Amino acid sequence: MKGEQIPYKMLSQDAYSQWLGIEILECEIGRCKVAMTIRKDMLNSMSKAHGGISYSLADTAFGFAANTHGKYAVSIETSINHIEALEEGDKLVAESVIGKVNNKLGFNIIEVKRGEELVALFKGVVYRTQKDWE
């Protein structure tokens, strides 16, 4: 399977990302940009988006980009910095660009933005298996 097609297959099999309303905007080898809109059922007790929402969007972009190299890739370490609070109706875009890849590991930084504003910064390390996407 061509690498840039893998994220579309992954999304078709990912009920959680579908529930979030994630859509793929752009995808190529080593890079994927995804988007979603914050809904009321994603808000916490302070009427702000739960931190797991922006984390999930970034994690999805991370996973999609990491798998475009054609091998099954799974995260082994991730973290996020929440920079701005998010509200219902906010449209978020996360872009993952693989910064460095070797035989077994890939390193990423994913920016989550609301328009041009950086709202979260996600960092991740992925383990690349030897299993091919088919």
CB atoms within 10 A of CB 87: 12
- Our count of domains for the chain comes to 1
Confidence of residue 11 (pLDDT cuts 50, 70, 90): very high
The reported pTM is: 0.95
Cβ atoms of residues 128 and 106 within 8 Å: yes
Domain carrying residue 67: 3-132
| Mean predicted confidence (pLDDT) in 62-86 | 96
Residue 54 near residue 112, CB atoms below 8 Å: yes
pLDDT at 98: 85
Instruction: Give the model's pLDDT for residue 89.
Output: 98
Average pLDDT, the chain: 95
Q: How confident is the model at residue 99 (pLDDT cuts 50, 70, 90)?
A: confident
Q: What is the domain-level CATH number for residue 42? A: 3.10.129.10
- DSSP, collapsed to helix, strand or coil, labels residue 12 as helix
